[in-house]
Amino acid sequence: MATTLTLRLTKGSQLTAQELDDNFTALDSSITNGSGIKLDSANDWTALNNFEAGLQSPGAGTNSFRAGTNAGATTQGASSVALGENAGQTDQLGFAVAIGNSAGQTDQGVFSVGVGTAAGKTAQGNAGVAVGVNAGSITQGESAVGVGNAAAQNFQSDFSVAVGASAGQDSQHTKSVAIGYFAGNSSQDSSSVAIGDEAGRFSQSRNAVSIGRGAGKTNQGLQGVAIGYTTGQENQGAGATAVGWTSGKTSQGTNSVAIGFSAGKTSQGASAISIGYDAGQTSQGLNAVAVGVNSGATSQGGGAVAIGNGAGENGQGSASVALGQFAGRIGQGSNGIIISSNGSAVDDTSDGHIHIASDDGSIDFTTDSGFSVTGGNFSSPGYKNVAVTNNGNGATPPVSVFVNDITQTITGAGDATFGQNLPSLLEDTSVMSLDRSGLLGSGSTVWANNTVKFSGLPAFGSIAGPYNILRSNVKFQSTTTSSLAFSNFAVDINNTISNESTGTFTASEYGINHRPIIGADVTALVLTGMLVNLAVVDASSTLEYQIGFHSVALTVGTLSNVGFMYGPTKPTDGRSYAFHSGSSLDPVLFGGGVVNRTFMLQNASGGGSTPAYTATTGDHTLLMQGTQTQVILPAHTAVPLGQTYKIINDSGSSKAATSSSSFMGKSATMSNNTSATFVAGPNGWWVGY
């Protein structure tokens, strides 16, 4: 069927006969001028007036139209249009439009549009739109849009959009959007968005978003978001977010967040957060947080937190916390805490520190120096210069407290069994007073240089209950004349016990390791401990006993206390012994031998100046340093089998051992600086070795 074309020529335009012959079949009866006069189709026409001409350009399909060499040449679909050389040349489907040299040339889909040289040239999908030179040129997908020079040029997938020169040029995937010069230019993955000059240009991953010039330009990760000039520009990690000029620009880690000018700009760690101008700018660590201008700006450690202008600005250590302007600004150590409201830099390079600072003072801790307070006192509520009634009952000790330079009175009788509890004192130069009977509660900790005063009448036999730990230089002062006992200390070094009363003060002290200082007018002090150094005793005081090891009284016989005993014979003198050895031992039951004293044989002791010393069964080690010529050992029948004597010659001349019993083994003669051991053996022999 012929297609009728109505041609309108305005006054002054010209259409030659050759042009009509090349492109149209003229229907003479329908070619008229504006006055209705028929025109000769063989002549050139110059429109003196407006006129209409009905022309025919028969295409392959019903109601199709084509114009140009090879336009719509083969299998042109119904109602399609092909204008230009090779436009819609082969298999142009129905309702398609191809305008321009080679536009929609091969396999143009139904309802598709290709406008421009080579636009939609090959295999343009149904309802696809390609406008511009080489737009959607090769294999444009269904309902895809490519507008601009080389936009969506090669292999644009279904439902994707590319607007701008070279936008989505190569391999733009399904449902992705690229708007801008070279936006999503190469291998833009499905459902991603790139808006801006070179946004998402190379290998933008699926579901990623980049908005702004150069945003997400190269290798933007899965579901990454980059908004702003060159944000997330190179190797933005999966799930990362960068918002602001150059934020997250290079190697932003997975799941990290950078918001603000240059925030997280270079090598931001995975799951890190930086918010603010230059926050976490360079090498922010894994899981670190920086909020505020220049916070965590350089080399912030993993897991560190910096909040505030300049907080943790340079080299903040791992797992440390800096809150407040310039808190931990330079080189904060690992695992430290700095909280500051004074607006000045508060720095500490040591690990594990704590600093809480304001304009009025600070609380500080380091592993080397412990806690300190500047500009005021530090205590828990209820523990500073106040009276505490019935403070704890033994079963419920009082709350431990950090105190410094305070005075406190503990009042009330406390529990009937456990007495009063004293709060733990964890700083220097504090004074705690007990004005009633009771105990220094169990589990208390008293650190150096504190003072504990006793002004009441103790109802119990001891002060300081079990499991207490005392540091050095604690002062115990009493204004009562009653006896006090300080018991069960784990550590008690150089503590002072003093008497401030007008009467006699009697005290006892028991501990594991202690060296107390006994002040003036303290009498009858008994020291007992696992390790006891020589006590320092004031000239006006007395020391009754100093015992190195103490055990509870036994119920056998009349023995009072024996810390360690060897042998079955028990002393009956009622005294206490750190160590006791029996003198009558059964060699079968106890293995023979007696562990006893070392006796120094000097001119002024032992055998004196006599030529011989006769050993007794109580001797064990004999050190010869005097003029004695010999040691006379008992007959073997007078001592238990296995009785042992060790003789050490340090006298400067030869010595000898003699006995009414015979010797065998080692010679009984000993030269200077030698020793010999003799054991009572069977058959009447002293066996030497």
Q: What is the pLDDT of residues 453-498, one digit of tens each?
A: 655 544 333 444 443 444 445 555 555 555 554 544 444 555 666 6
Q: Which residues contact residue 271 at a Cβ distance below 8 angstroms, ignoring those fewer than 6 apart?
A: 253, 254, 255, 256, 286, 287
What are the counts of helices (DSSP H) followed by strands (DSSP E) for the chain?
2, 53
CA distance 463 to 454: 9
- Tokens in use for 473? 């230089």
CA dihedral defined by 208, 212, 213, 218, rounded to 10 degrees?
Answer: -20
Give residue 168's pLDDT: 97
Which residue stretches of the chain have pLDDT < 70? 1-60, 375-519, 521-535, 544-598, 602-610
Please write down the long-range contacts of 339-347, taking CB distance under 8 Å and 24 or more positions apart.
345/310
CA distance 575 to 596: 18
Please write down the long-range contacts of 200-206, taking CB distance under 8 Å and 24 or more positions apart.
204/176, 205/238, 206/173
CA distance 679 to 633: 10
CA angle 168, 169, 170 (to 5 degrees): 100
CB neighbourhood size of 251 (10 A): 19
0.75 surpassed by pTM: no
- For the chain, the first-to-last Cα distance in angstroms comes to 139
Give residue 682's pLDDT: 74
CA distance 236 to 216: 7
- Under DSSP, is residue 52 helix (H, G, I), strand (E, B) or coil? strand
CA distance 60 to 79: 10
CA distance 391 to 436: 12
Q: Find how far residue 513's CA is from the centre of its chain.
A: 38
Q: Tell me the residue length of the chain.
A: 689
- Contact predicate 92/83, CB 8 Å: no
CATH number of 597-688: 2.60.120
CB neighbourhood size of 69 (10 A): 12
- Under DSSP, is residue 589 helix (H, G, I), strand (E, B) or coil? helix
Q: Where are the domains of the chain?
A: 4-56, 387-547, 597-688
DSSP H/E element including 17: helix 17-23
